Structure 1
Amino acid sequence: MPQLDKPAAAPASWSSGLFDCFDLCTYRCLTWWCPCVTFGRVAEMVDMGSTSCGDSAARYALLATVTGGCQWIYTYSYRGKMRGRPRRGARGDCCVHFCCERCALCQEYRELAARGYHPSLGWQLNMERRAAATAPPAVHYMAG
């Protein structure tokens, strides 16, 4: 499996603030009305394609429905994975997802975009785009 320049690679800090979700952007609206989709996209990228957006979104929706809104118990761990510290700082990640989960999801989505990924395309297409961008240019010789 190809390595991601790791959405899980630890940035020194986030490229945007937690409350920068109040700008006018598509994923902010998507996250407000359907946070399971935003989470699914983030999870697919962080898990480097080992889980699909659909599977993660379905788990999110199921947990939200069954637990009455305690899906943050599942989602906060991905924040730590993105920072490259799944265990360290877990308490803070947990608090952020508990208190303002939608802003946290938007921040994580923006972070992936800042690292050059397009979460809406999914893991496979992102990897294909990266491979095409790093491939040497094709040289065509004309017979003559």
Structure 2
Amino acid sequence: MSSQAPSDYAVKPEHQQAHAYPPQAGHSLPAKFQFGLFDCFSPIGTCCLATWCPCVVYGRIKEREEGVRDPSGMNGQCALHGVLLCCGVSWILQFVNRMSMREKHGMESNGFGDCCTAFCCPCCELIQEDKEMVVRHTGMDPKTKQAYVPPPSMSYP
């Protein structure tokens, strides 16, 4: 088992991205984030990076959206986030990105909840989005580094 850093996940080629996160038979793509907001301590590398240098995680999320194969996070989006972080308003950029991510992937949206999340829990929000982008663009679970298997749907007897 190799120990790759979360940034080492390779994005599949453009024509395969639609299948990177295959829906189960009879099910469409999930309409929610696959990882909880407070499931932010795993992987620990992403947790540390989001805590001490959130601009890099934000840059990495934006690179994954653009289909960069080996996202480092050191880009213009990282610099913009860093400047806004120094001014205390980087949460606005994160809020806008969270809303556009939800729209792009057809996820349930709650503007007020997303705004509160970006303002009150910016590190956890970045970690959640980073893990979601890894799953959606590579098909890999960022915690186990194996193919992602969505949790089973609830069934009633």
AA aligned opposite 2:91: W
| Separation in structure 2 between the aligned mates of residue 23 and residue 73 of structure 1, nearest angstrom | 25
Aligned-partner SS, 1:18: coil
Paired residues for 1:62-101 under 5 Å:
62-65=83-86, 67=87, 69-84=88-103, 89-101=110-122
Structure 1 outlier segments of 4+, above 6 Å: none
Paired residues for 1:114-133 under 5 Å:
114-117=135-138
| Separation in structure 2 between the aligned mates of residue 103 and residue 35 of structure 1, nearest angstrom | 10
Paired-residue identity, %: 36
Q: CA deviation at 1:73?
A: 0.7
Contact 1:63 1:70 in 2 (8 A): yes
TM-score by length of 2: 0.60
Go from structure 1 to structure 2 and tell me whether the alpha carbon gap of 1:47 and 1:79 turns closer, same or farther (over 3 Å shift).
Answer: farther
Instruction: Render the CA deviation track for 1:43-71: whole Å, top value 9, x for unaligned.
Output: 2223456xx94100000011111x2x211
Aligned-partner SS, 1:21: coil
Q: CA deviation at 1:24?
A: 4.7
Contact 1:46 1:81 in 2 (8 A): no
AA aligned opposite 1:42: I
Contact 1:37 1:57 in 2 (8 A): yes
In structure 2, the gaps of 5 or more residues are: 1-13, 21-28, 140-157
Residue 26 of structure 1 is matched in structure 2 by 45
Go from structure 1 to structure 2 and tell me whether the alpha carbon gap of 1:99 and 1:83 turns closer, same or farther (over 3 Å shift).
Answer: same
| Separation in structure 2 between the aligned mates of residue 6 and residue 19 of structure 1, nearest angstrom | 28
Residue 16 of structure 1 is matched in structure 2 by 35
| Separation in structure 2 between the aligned mates of residue 15 and residue 60 of structure 1, nearest angstrom | 25
AA aligned opposite 2:115: C
Q: Higher Cα Rg: structure 1 or 2?
A: 1
In structure 1, the gaps of 5 or more residues are: 119-144
What is the aligned-residue RMSD (CA, Å)? 2.9
| Separation in structure 1 between the aligned mates of residue 119 and residue 18 of structure 2, nearest angstrom | 28
- Aligned pairs, number: 111
| Separation in structure 2 between the aligned mates of residue 74 and residue 107 of structure 1, nearest angstrom | 15
| Separation in structure 1 between the aligned mates of residue 18 and residue 84 of structure 2, nearest angstrom | 30
Q: CA deviation at 1:100?
A: 0.1
Contact 1:77 1:90 in 2 (8 A): no
Quick one: which of 57, 79, 82 aligns to 2:78? 57
| Separation in structure 2 between the aligned mates of residue 5 and residue 83 of structure 1, nearest angstrom | 16
Q: CA deviation at 1:39?
A: 0.4
